[in-house]
Amino acid sequence: MKRLARLAKIVVALKLCLGVMFVGGPLEASQKGDFVPGELLVRQKAGAPAAGVRAALQAQGAGEIEEIAGIKVKRIRVPEHAMERVRTALARNPNFEFVEPNFIAQGTLVPNDTSYSSQWYLPRINAPEGWRLTTGSADIPIAIIDSGIDPNHADLGAKLLPGYNWLDHNTDTRDVQGHGTAVAGAAAAITDNGRGIAGVAWDNPIMPLVVLNSSNSASYSNIASAIIYAVDQGVRVINVSIAGTSYSHTLQNAINYAWNRGALVFCAAANSNTDDPFYPAALNNAIAVAATDQNDRKASYSNYGDWITIAAPGSSIYTTLRGGGYGSRSGTSMASPVAAGLGALIWSLNSNLSNVEVLEILKAGADDLGDPGFDPIFGHGRINVAGSLSLAENVVVEEDQAPPVVALTSPADGSAVAGQVTLVAQVEDNVGVEKVEFFLNGQRLGQDTSAPYMHLWNAEQAASGWHRLSALATDTAGNVGLSEEIMVFVEQTADLVPPQVSISYPLPGAKLNKQEWVRAQASDNVGVARMELYINGALMSVNNSDTMDWRWMTHKERASVFELTVKAYDAAGNVAEDSITVYK
């Protein structure tokens, strides 16, 4: 009765607005922990000039390693001995939204408990009765972000999809230490095949995504990349049985990316018996899974707190082991994939449900343990497969035909603009926003796929006078919403701003090898027309772009001291230069 009363609060077709909350600010106490030496994660502010960002990084001796697609977070390499100094300097730079270490999370598997050899937890969560409604669907895969999966295991190999390995940057997803194979079996081992164990989701395939190394650690950047990869491959159920003690803007952006595209990320709450938040479980829009034992009590090791979403069995979970065997494993690392398996079953039974509806069904179908209603030990209760599937079976979902509501909030209607202008759109939708496109006089300027939705427009390229701006938002169901047009007046003035130019290689005072590359970059408020390279006053190279790459055969030079000068010109004739001295 309590479960039915809670379900009554779910509208037949939930109409909720999904949003992204960004948390800013400097490194906090919650961000203490291990991190990848010599690496930082940064995100530049919308509208920040590329030259300013490059100059800020170069000034600190930092270089970009990669950008995490979808959330625009750059992983940069910095001098290891100066990490905190560099982080502080970049955090104070107005070009950056946030700067943080590339923290390392730890796998949450606890020591084996071999006293249990049967899968006690499946009857406890009412799985056999639930399987009468569905045993899963090949159309609803589960992404296991972990240490890989043993492809030769008889209870796993035949259902593995192609995945990716962020440790070696290839498609070899073999398990590097065993954690991922155990997690995968708890969620979706091959079932009813006359051997081994049963998974919660019998027929759902598994996508292995490798981020956890043989030392049981994973970088936040790799976890975020794997979440985004899974979502971009169309996966709606994602499991992360990895936890770190440090809050991360990067992980929050990745979780938001998944949530806004209709996916659910199940995360282990970790095994420290504390209410301190662990991440990504404690992030907004993540499903934090605590662990219960054979008596439906809180597992002794399980974390708890007001950030817990739901509970699932996690003690003595009999599962698949790397090398082809089976054994018992305990921890919230096991509880999370058990819950993720139920999420996959719900979508297998009713694929038209939104992620909001699946989450509400998980909560409403759960058995309410502990204090009535939500509590910090069990969250919304311990999962019940039959209870949730019964609710999912009876929810009639109307096709989403509601378009997004979109409005341009900047610049203001009727305002005068010049130079670089940041266009900002505010969007609300009942399901989720896929993209927002920006238009000038009906011509597409560009798009953004994550909130806040922005685009940098160079008004210098438009003629003086009035111009029309608009935005078009597309939701995950394909519905389109168009904003009202706003009018802005472009004021063109004489270009008096010179370009910015810097020599990035060789470094000032460097001792030259037998041959070197001279590299320089330039930027301008309108555009760079030409770059020139001079060595000891002699013109050596001309390039009609904003980059200079010139091979210098230094072994042919007779001098021992060289002054290198790079000049950059814009179309208005403004010029700037950068000079360094190097030695042979």
Q: Which of 241, 315, 333, 354 is catalytic?
A: 333
- Dihedral of alpha carbons 119, 124, 125, 130, sign: positive
pLDDT at 362: 97
CB 373 within 8 A of CB 435: no
What value does the mean pLDDT take over residues 538-556? 92
Three-state DSSP string of 156-168: CHHHECCCEECCC
Judge if 312 and 327 occupy the same domain: yes
Judge if 457 and 346 occupy the same domain: no
pLDDT band for 13, please (50, 70, 90 cuts).
very low
Judge if 417 and 442 occupy the same domain: yes
What value does the mean pLDDT take over residues 181-199? 93
Residue at 7 is within a domain: no
Residue at 5 is within a domain: no
Choice among 41-45, 459-463, 566-570 with the minimum mean pLDDT: 459-463
Give the span between the Cα atoms of 342 and 124, in whole angstroms.
13
- Beta strand pairing call for 547-552 and 516-523: antiparallel
Judge if 321 and 364 occupy the same domain: yes
Q: What CATH number does residue 87 fall under?
A: 3.30.70.80
What are the phi and psi torsion angles at 552 (to 5°)? -110, 115
Query: Is residue 23's pLDDT more than 60?
Result: no
Judge if 310 and 381 occupy the same domain: yes
Higher pLDDT, 105 or 504: 504
pLDDT band for 194, please (50, 70, 90 cuts).
confident
Residue at 495 is within a domain: no
Query: Is residue 476's pLDDT more than 80?
Result: yes
What value does the mean pLDDT take over residues 82-95? 94
What value does the mean pLDDT take over residues 327-335? 96
Three-point CA angle 394, 398, 402, nearest 5°: 150
Judge if 356 and 210 occupy the same domain: yes
Q: What CATH number does residue 432 fall under?
A: 2.60.40.10
Domain final position from 394, 423, 446: 394
Q: What CATH number does residue 316 fall under?
A: 3.40.50.200
Query: Is residue 6's pLDDT more than 90?
Result: no
Judge if 303 and 280 occupy the same domain: yes
Domain final position from 441, 460, 490: 490
Omega before residue 337 within 30° of 0, cis: no
Query: Is residue 136's pLDDT more than 80?
Result: yes
Whole-number Cα distances in Å, 297 to 18, 292, 293, 369, 382: 34, 5, 6, 8, 10
Domain final position from 66, 101, 136: 101
Residue at 308 is within a domain: yes
Judge if 116 and 145 occupy the same domain: yes
Query: Is residue 243's pLDDT more than 50?
Result: yes
Residue at 11 is within a domain: no
Tens digit of each residue's pLDDT (9 = 90 or more) over 145-171: 999 999 999 999 999 999 999 999 999
Query: Is residue 26's pLDDT more than 90?
Result: no
Active site residue 333: yes
| DSSP-derived 3-state class of residue 342 | helix
Residue at 15 is within a domain: no
Residue at 23 is within a domain: no
Q: Which of 153, 179, 249, 467 is catalytic?
A: 179
Residue at 539 is within a domain: yes
pLDDT band for 497, please (50, 70, 90 cuts).
confident
pLDDT band for 252, please (50, 70, 90 cuts).
very high
Query: Is residue 3's pLDDT more than 50?
Result: no
What value does the mean pLDDT take over residues 69-80? 93
Whole-number Cα distances in Å, 37 to 33, 80, 101, 102, 235: 12, 6, 9, 8, 32
pLDDT band for 313, please (50, 70, 90 cuts).
very high
Query: Is residue 399's pLDDT more than 90?
Result: no
**Hey, which residues does 76 pair with through a beta bridge?**
40, 64
Judge if 549 and 578 occupy the same domain: yes
pLDDT band for 107, please (50, 70, 90 cuts).
low
What value does the mean pLDDT take over residues 498-505? 95
Q: Which residues constitute the domain of residue 469?
A: 405-490
Active site residue 555: no
Tell me the average pLDDT of the chain: 89
Judge if 150 and 226 occupy the same domain: yes
pLDDT band for 556, please (50, 70, 90 cuts).
confident
Higher pLDDT, 231 or 34: 231
Judge if 551 and 471 occupy the same domain: no
Judge if 231 and 327 occupy the same domain: yes
pLDDT at 526: 79
Q: Which of 146, 203, 475, 570 is catalytic?
A: 146
Q: Provide the domain count of the chain.
A: 4
